[in-house]
Structure 1
Amino acid sequence: MPFITDGEPKPVGSYPNSGIDVLIVGTGLAGLTAAIECVRKGHNVRVLERNDDINTAGDMYFMGLSATKFFKHWPEMAKEFDEISLHNAWIETFKHDGTRMIPPLKVADRLRDAGLNPDTPPGTFQMRPLVYKMYVHQVRRLGIQIQFGKRVVDYFEDEARGKAGVVTDNDERFEADVVIAADGVGSKSQKLVGGQVRAMKSGRAMWRAAFPIEHLDKNPEIKEPGTYAMTLTRPDTMIWVMNHDVTGSEKESWNHTIDADEVLANMDKGVGPSPWSSKYKDLIKLTPPNTIVNFELFWRNPQPKWASPGARVVNIGDAAHSFLPASGNGATQAIEDAVSLASCLQIGGRDNIPQSVRAHVRIRFIRNACAQKLGFSNAELLQDTDWSQVKLDPRKAQPKLPAWVWSHDPESYAYQVYDKVVENMKKGVPFDKDDSVPPNYPPGYRYEPWSIEQIMGDMKAGKTVDLGSGNWD
């Protein structure tokens, strides 16, 4: 198969023009990655965004190594990513009441203790504003056309003409050979795709905030390492995240802010006999107004329908599979989706777009279902930590970061398995019975459908999340 990367950078111009017109809806991580990777793979790209600009606000998320491997093709992005990343960072772990459980260790030392290579971390926590600005710079360098203020209210496809498109709230119509729906959990594409999944309340939410660190000047002690819950301190920015029981004011929106007084009034509820540390409460008090987001956490079952009947519309990122923020995998899998889809379209060419879209979905579904389930397991660990065990073994407080997740290369994998996947689709081999393709999920795993209801039932019965067969470590 031509154009296999084999780890070598292949910048813009390495691939001939495919003649494929791609319309992307949404400028989140999935949409922006799809845009720049589709350009690199020779596709013609247009992007629609409902807002007046790309949203660069927010706090932090985890970006896994499997998602950032494609930066090797974009030297400007690789350089900027290195500049915004934290190097030689320290981590220490506390209980919510301020008791130190794991002493300060460099990230490299923690990786070494966990049996991982300190020179190849599974990923890094990044500030969302800095990552998005990096993407904006790349989009501008490429001259990618983004039309703002285009709120998509419907998707359609015309199989006879080999076209798909969208309709906006102003009754504008946009068409392309393939439409990539990267517009989040409420994507209108799901009506066409048939992948609408009912959201189930988890009973949990997250308070989270990011703000300039000078707001802490009134209490210099807060700047020192040693705040509790999850915090990230940079030279110029403080970020904190706190998981909590629902209080009634939360929404599934990154634009929904509340006052610090509401957090302070509720933060000790449900934490047991020991209240939160006064030091952490001081941090909340110093958080500036209109900064704290109260984000409700919903659970959604995995579903394999990511493409329309004619496979001219395809969902990626949260539109295809939503992750709990605590999973540390949502951003990673969204980027992987985009890289994989751009590659499959290039491999199949303009005459085989539906085939390539279906191959991409087949390549990605089981991996994402496993990553979603792993997210529940990690969320359970973070929420119900057994601190008596952590004292004996600090690894008991560390979420799983398995090699099958972070060592994966979605681009190389697409080139490796595309032909075999297509061959097996044509033979009618079910996606969950395809043993001829090397797995990009836990080795030895056999796919079994699962549901949130099943997991919730196990958790209520005091059982740990059953990940299933195979090696998840």
Structure 2
Amino acid sequence: MSGVNGASSSDHHGTGFAQVAPPNSTGVKVIIVGAGFAGLGCAVESKRKGHDVLILEKFKELKALGDIISFGNNAGRIFERWGLHDKFWAVSSHVKTLMIHNAKGELLVEQPNPDPLFGAYAYNAHRGELHTMLFEYAQSLGVEIRLGQDVSEYWETETEAGVISNGERVAGDVVVGADGVRSTARTLVLGYEDKPKSSGYAVYRAWFDCAEQGVDKDPLTSFICQGKDLFYGWIGPDVHFLAHSSRDGKKLANVITHKDDADIAESWSFPGKMEDCLKIVEGWDPRCAALLSKAPSLVDWKLVYRDPMPTWISPGARLALIGDAAHPFLPTSQQGASQALEDGVALAVVLQLAGKKNVPTAVRAWEKMRYQRVRRAQLLGESVRDMWHKAKPEDKGQAVALPRPEWLLGHDAEKHAYEVYDSVAKEILEKGYERPTLPVAVPPVGA
């Protein structure tokens, strides 16, 4: 069998292409805007596939921001392939069981948390720590990262694409917009500026040291500081509260999702008021208010919604949006960062398979390969939220368990891209490019 660009398909994954190619062997120059997880992940895999990679990041210095971030097993197999397991595992929480309760504090399900699952590990750790490790790994591979970059314009022609950054014209074969939910590249792809909408929900979040805040001394909260990592959840009408200890019970992350119809401006993260947060759990299991009140400060994070984009790629197919720039996720999906990583890995593979002369075909095929899967994962996150927020007090067991479907967590984005690229690209070349279609129905939670 021959590949779309004429290459034989005899070795890795039946493609004829090395999983790790010699540096700069493809001649494809990839410009990535944004050095978050999406951008760094795309850069690492692009480097592994033999592309020339440049990242442009607006921040002037690396900052370890945020609290807990979750990478599912589908992302974990990518990190393990990169040799990052030991580093990531050392700073990750190791929760054995998920304990979900109703608002009265009655245990509804005690759900085992197997790791590994579907042949790979999941990683839940401090966002800043994992990001720093991935940033340093990208640099160790020779990825060029320019900080303090103001990307003011995107452009493409039939033969190249690029940006204007700090007034300088930077050209390449493909530009990857990995600059988050407020992406400036979205406007070029859509042809108009889409504004975020209120999802109807907001989150109060906190991350802090248990001993410093007396969590281990209070009889109502000491249960979560037992020298091991624990995960407790409480669900009620239109609310769910997750408390997650890590670092052998030394750190605590609190996340409570609740109804909030505030009008959303372009800035949607604010300092939170503890009295407002505690009102949400009035009359609940007293452990909830006790845990929430231990936080030295709160972030009030408005969950914005954007209509699914009709396409993630520009008219000339030399600009692709990945991660939050293309498809923001709800926290209940626990898949936003994982799907961003899959995006970047799959894009690096198809650019390798297509070669420099066929970049637009690669980008169009990548969108077709990824779009339905990502949307299905987004809808699952909405289903989980609705399942918890609409649960009856007597619902127990699988009715309120966190779903872990194999189609989601058992996926290997790199292997899949190698396997399906030829057929997807062939279909586009024969029938022409069509914008992707949305799934017609929300999948069942367990599907």
The alignment's TM-score, normalised by the length of structure 1, stands at 0.80
Q: What corresponds to 1:379 in structure 2? A: 385
Tell me how far 1:158 sits from its aligned partner: 2.2
1:136-190 deviation per Cα after TM superposition (whole angstroms, max 9, x unaligned): 231232232211111223211122xx2212224x433322211110001221112
Q: What corresponds to 2:315 in structure 1? A: 309
Alignment size in residue pairs: 420
Tell me how far 1:337 sits from its aligned partner: 0.2
1:58 aligned onto 2:63: no
Q: What corresponds to 2:242 in structure 1? A: 230
Closer, same or farther: CA 118–178 of 1 in aligned 2, 3 Å: closer
1:267 aligned onto 2:280: yes
Q: RMSD value over aligned CA atoms?
A: 3.0
RCO comparison, higher one (Cα < 8 Å, 6+): 2
Closer, same or farther: CA 215–282 of 1 in aligned 2, 3 Å: farther
Q: What corresponds to 1:172 in structure 2? A: 168
Q: What corresponds to 1:150 in structure 2? A: 149
Aligned equivalent of 1:338, options 315, 322, 344 = 344
Q: Provide the identity percentage.
A: 31
Aligned pairs for 1:93-132 (under 5 A) are: 93-103=100-110, 106-108=112-114, 120=119, 123-132=122-131
1:25-44 deviation per Cα after TM superposition (whole angstroms, max 9, x unaligned): 11111101011111111111
Q: What corresponds to 2:5 in structure 1? A: none
Aligned equivalent of 1:327, options 329, 333, 351 = 333
Judge conservation of contact 2:88–2:123 (CA < 8 Å) in 1.
no
1:467 aligned onto 2:437: no
1:267-322 deviation per Cα after TM superposition (whole angstroms, max 9, x unaligned): 24xxxxx6233332222222113xx2111112222224111111111101111111
User: Unaligned 5+ residue runs, structure 2?
Assistant: 1-8, 225-231, 235-240
Tell me how far 1:66 sits from its aligned partner: 1.6
Judge conservation of contact 1:21–1:177 (CA < 8 Å) in 2.
yes
Q: Which amino acid aligns with 2:314?
A: S
Aligned pairs for 1:25-424 (under 5 A) are: 25-75=33-83, 77-87=84-94, 89-103=96-110, 106-108=112-114, 120=119, 123-159=122-158, 162-168=159-165, 170-194=166-190, 197-217=194-214, 219-221=217-219, 222-225=221-224, 228=234, 229-234=241-246, 235=248, 236-246=250-260, 248=262, 256-264=270-278, 266-268=279-281, 275-289=283-297, 292-390=298-396, 394-424=397-427
Q: Which amino acid aligns with 1:230?
A: L
Q: What corresponds to 2:3 in structure 1? A: none
Give the match's secondary structure for 2:176: strand
Q: Which amino acid aligns with 1:92?
A: M
Most deviating of 327-336 and 92-101? 92-101
Q: What corresponds to 1:425 in structure 2? A: 428
How far apart are the structure 1 equivalents of 2:41 and 2:344? Answer: 6
How far apart are the structure 2 equivalents of 1:46 and 1:430? Answer: 28
How far apart are the structure 2 equivalents of 1:251 and 1:208? Answer: 19
Tell me how far 1:361 sits from its aligned partner: 0.7
Q: What corresponds to 2:227 in structure 1? A: none
How far apart are the structure 2 equivalents of 1:304 and 1:247? Answer: 26
Give the match's secondary structure for 1:256: strand
How far apart are the structure 1 equivalents of 2:120 and 2:422? Answer: 32
Closer, same or farther: CA 136–263 of 1 in aligned 2, 3 Å: same
Q: Which amino acid aligns with 1:237?
A: K
Closer, same or farther: CA 352–283 of 1 in aligned 2, 3 Å: same
Q: Which amino acid aligns with 1:165?
A: G
Give the match's secondary structure for 1:17: coil
Judge conservation of contact 1:203–1:246 (CA < 8 Å) in 2.
yes
Closer, same or farther: CA 59–186 of 1 in aligned 2, 3 Å: same
Closer, same or farther: CA 122–429 of 1 in aligned 2, 3 Å: farther
Tell me how far 1:471 sits from its aligned partner: 11
Give the match's secondary structure for 1:93: strand
Judge conservation of contact 1:341–1:357 (CA < 8 Å) in 2.
yes
Closer, same or farther: CA 19–233 of 1 in aligned 2, 3 Å: same
User: Unaligned 5+ residue runs, structure 1?
Assistant: 112-116, 269-273, 434-446, 451-465
Higher helix share: 1
Q: Which amino acid aligns with 1:401?
A: R
How far apart are the structure 1 equivalents of 2:72 and 2:242? Answer: 18
